[in-house]
Amino acid sequence: MKLNPRKAMALALLGAAWLVPPTGAAWAQTPAPATFSPPDEAAMPAGPFGDAVKLGENIFRNTPKYAPQFTGNTLSCDNCHMNGGRLANSSPMWAAYVAYPAYRSKNKKVNTFGQRLQGCFRFSENGKAPPLDSKVMVALESYSFWLSTNAPTGAKMAGRGYPKLAKPAEAPSYQRGQVVYAQNCSLCHGANGAGAAAHGAVVFPGVWGKDSYNWGAGMSAINNAADFIHANMPLGLAGTLSAQQAWDVAAYIDSQDRPQDPRFTGSVAATRAKFHNNAFSLYGTTVNGHVLGAAAQ
Ligand code: HEC
Ligand code: HEC
């Protein structure tokens, strides 16, 4: 995996001793490798189109800095769509771009690629949807279009999204997840879930709390979180958690307080009934005597 210098440094600081797989980890099956490769960075075109592509990459890799008016937390697109949206099985942009327009049950309409991007701004970035003709949107679309150079339109590309994990043998458990988190995640993401920053730059993104994704985000559903975590975390040791551990730790982080769902109707129960009425969202349920969403930040 190619890390940017900031992350490589952070990993080096953590020390090699840590890079030992968790004991008892089942080495899960790795999904079929993607056959598509996006163009090299060096092949980025010059001229006005190249400028838009470069701006799009900058926004993607550091969203709070390059699109502050649309970002409500400290997350960047790159935190969940890793390696600048290039990494297969980390919901890469080259596989997404060629898959739209498409119907989404989340908003019950056919979405263009731009409308799909707006969704991640509103929920994952806890921000505001950039207008479809804004400079930010044009740049992100240019970058994604360029990454998908020579990809077939409408094809189902291997490596799209996060590989779907099988249902867990046992119901996801907060208690077991808490142990998985303490042993495999808190070193980087913090015991309080807030992540870590150095010199004003995010080194490890938060996984809950006010600077995290909100209750409307895809990652707040434990199936999406388990899929992402199993394929991509712990950073540098992806694939070392068992499927059960990934489900358990997903249930643990998605049982913590985070920003309110922007579709909030005024009541947690009504918001759950309208938007979260499924087994994967813990919003509005009671965990450890605490109604999730009631103390949303
Ligand atoms: C907190 C994690 C997170 C962040 C930050 C995030 N996303 Fe996403 N994104 C997801 C998840 C999870 C999904 C898929 C699950 C779903 O359907 O909601 C997704 C889906 C997408 C898709 C559709 C992928 C496909 O194959 O259909 C696009 C496009 C996308 N995101 C773009 C972005 C952009 C651009 C940004 C930054 C402005 C961003 N995302 C920030 C988590 C995130
Ligand atoms: C060595 C440090 C490290 C460890 C250990 C680690 N992560 Fe991460 N995690 C990161 C970094 C860095 C990113 C952002 C990836 C990027 O930008 O390329 C990230 C991203 C994430 C994200 C998506 C972004 C966000 O903040 O919501 C989630 C969720 C996540 N990690 C969960 C976990 C879980 C659960 C574990 C334990 C099983 C774990 N991580 C272990 C460093 C780590």
Q: What ranges do the domains of the chain cover?
A: 5-9+40-147, 174-291
What pLDDT digit, counting tens, does each position of 200-214 carry? 899 999 999 999 999
Residues forming a β-bridge with 291: 286
The answer to whether the CB of 177 is under 6 A from ligand 2 is no
CB neighbours (10 Å) of residue 89? 25
CATH number for the domain formed by residue range(s) 5-9+40-147: 1.10.760.10
* Domains 5-9+40-147 and 174-291 equal at CATH topology level: yes
Predicted confidence band at 6 (pLDDT cuts at 50, 70, 90)? low
For ligand 1, mutation pick of 70, 71, 120 (most atoms within 8 Å of CB): 120
Q: How far apart (Å, rounded) are the C-alpha atoms in residues 179 and 239?
A: 18
Does the predicted model carry a pTM greater than 0.95? no
In whole angstroms, what is the distance from residue 90 CA to residue 70 CA? 23
| Residue 8 banded pLDDT, cuts 50, 70, 90 | low
The dihedral of CA 249, 81, 16, 209: what is its sign? Answer: negative
- Closest CA to ligand 2's atom 4: 234
Which residues, judged by CB distance below 6 Å to any ligand atom, belong to the binding site of ligand 1? 63, 75, 77, 79-81, 91, 95-96, 99, 116-117, 120-121, 124-125, 140, 160-161, 213, 217-219, 224
CA of residue 1 to ligand 2 center, whole Å:
14
The pLDDT tens digits for 251-283 are 999 999 999 999 999 999 999 999 999 999 999
- 11, 28, 43, 148: which is closest to 88 by C-alpha? 148
Strand locations in 162-226 (E):
196-198, 201-204
Q: Region 219-223: what's the mean pLDDT? A: 98
> What is the number of the ligand closest to the CA of 202?
2
> Model confidence over 102-151: pLDDT tens digits?
999 999 999 999 999 999 999 999 999 999 999 999 999 999 999 999 99
Q: How far is CA 267 from CA 176, 216, 218, 277, in A?
A: 30, 14, 21, 14
**pLDDT attached to residue 296:** 66
174-291: CATH topology: Cytochrome Bc1 Complex; Chain D, domain 2 (1.10.760)
